[in-house]
Amino acid sequence: MKIAIVGAGAMGCLFAWQLVKAGADVVAIDPWKEHIDAIRSNGLVVEKDGGTLNVPLTAVTSPADVGPCDVVMFFVKYGHTAKAAQMALPLVGDNTLLVTLQNGIGNPELIAEAIPDNPVAYGLTTLTSEMLGAGRIEASFSGRGETYFWRQNGQPDARDTALHDLLNKGDYAAALDPEIDLRIWKKLIINCCFNPICGLLDCNVGETMVDEEAALIFDGLISELATIAHKKDIDITTQSARDYLNDVGRDAASHIPSMTIDLRAGRITEIDCLNGAIVREGVRQGISTPTHTLVCNLIRMRENIAQRRSTKAA
C-alpha cells in the first residue's frame, strides 16, 4: 500500500515511522526544506524510551513527483488544511482514500470540499509526539496508544480495513469505530477546556484543576458544548463531560497542551477548530456560546499581539 503523509511534523512523522515499520510504501511531504533534507540524509531520527532509531523514509517538499497513492493522510494544523488538500491533488487517484486524524472538528469537510470525488475517513489518535528539530522527533506516548477512524457518510471498505491492519502491525492499537463522533466530541471536551485555559494562563493541566475560578470557566465551556452535542444527538451530558474532564485532568496533570506551546512560540493556534468550532455550531443551532466566544477572542488577541511584536522586531 502506497501512503502519502501530508504534513510531516511531529504527528505525521510518528505515523510515517509506524507505517514504514508495518511494511507500507510511505512518502512524507512537508514544505520545511531543512527537515526534508535531514530525513533524506539521515533517515527520520526517532527518540523513544531512551533509545534512538534511524528510520529510512522517502521525503519530499512537493507532491508533484509522487503520483497517485492508495491513501493520503493529513497531519497539518487546521488553518492549513484547505491549502494542504489543494496541494495534495497530484497524490489523488480514482481510488485514493483521504484520511484525517487532525484535532478538532471541521477538517473532513475542508478536505471533502477540495477533493469532492474521493472518500474521506476521519478520526482521532491518543498518541503524542514532539518535534526535536529538523529530521528528529520524540515519540512521547506510552503503551500502544489508540487510534480510531470511520468513513464519512458511508461504510468502510477494503481500503479502510487495509490501513487499519497496517496500523495494528506497529506499536499502535487501531480500530474502525462507528461511534467516532462521540469519541471526537469527548476529545473536544478536553481540547476546548485545557488547551485555551492552559494557553492563557501559561500553565500545565494540573495547575488549572485547583482554583475555583478555573472551575467556573470549565463549567461554562462544558455546559455550552454539552448543549450543542445534545442537539446533534451525541451522547454527552454536562455531568458526564465534567466527570471526564476531571479524570483526564488528574491523569495528565503534568501535561502542557499544544496551544500553550504555540502561544509561547508566538504561533497561530488551532482555536478555530476547537472553541471556534463550538461557536460556529452554536450559531447554526441557535445556541448561545458566550464562554467559548470569550475564550476565542482572548486567544486571538494573544495571537495578534504576538504577530505585531514579531513584525516590529523584524
Instruction: Please report, for the chain, the start and end positions of each structural domain, with discontinuous segments joined by +.
Output: 2-178, 181-313
Is residue 121 within 8 A of residue 150, CB to CB? The reply is yes
CATH second-level architecture of 181-313? Orthogonal Bundle (1.10)
pLDDT given for residue 141 in this prediction: 81
- At 140 the pLDDT is 84
CB atoms under 10 Å from CB of 203, counted, come to 16
Q: What angle do CA 106, 160, 89 make, to 5 degrees?
A: 55
pLDDT of residue 158: 96
pLDDT digits (tens), the chain, 314 positions? 999 999 999 999 999 999 999 999 999 999 999 999 999 999 999 999 899 999 999 999 999 989 999 999 999 999 999 999 999 999 999 999 999 999 999 999 999 999 999 999 999 998 889 999 999 999 988 777 899 999 999 999 999 999 999 999 977 899 999 999 999 999 999 999 999 999 999 999 999 999 999 999 999 999 999 999 999 999 999 999 999 999 999 999 998 999 999 999 999 999 999 999 999 999 999 999 999 999 999 999 999 999 999 898 87
| Local structure of residue 271 (DSSP, 8 states) | G
| Residue 24 one-letter amino acid | A
Whether 180 contacts 121, CB under 8 Å: no
Distance linking the first and last C-alpha atoms of the chain: 46
- Residue 197 corresponds to which cell in the numbers above? 485555559
Cα–Cα distance list, 199 to 104, 155, 276 (Å): 16, 38, 15
Burial pattern 204-226, b for ≥16 Cβ within 10 A else e, equals: bbebbbeeeebeebbbbbbebbb
Amino acid (one-letter) located at 193 = C
- Taking the CA atoms of the chain, what radius of gyration do you get in angstroms? 19
Q: Is 84 helix (H, G, I), strand (E, B) or coil?
A: helix
Q: What is the pLDDT of residue 170?
A: 75
Architecture of domain 2-178: 3-Layer(aba) Sandwich (3.40)
Distance between CA atoms of 309 and 311, rounded to whole angstroms?
A: 5
- Residue 185: name the closest of 244, 263, 112 by CA: 244
What is the pTM (predicted TM-score) of this model?
0.92
Strand partners, 174: 147
Provide the pLDDT for residue 266. Answer: 94
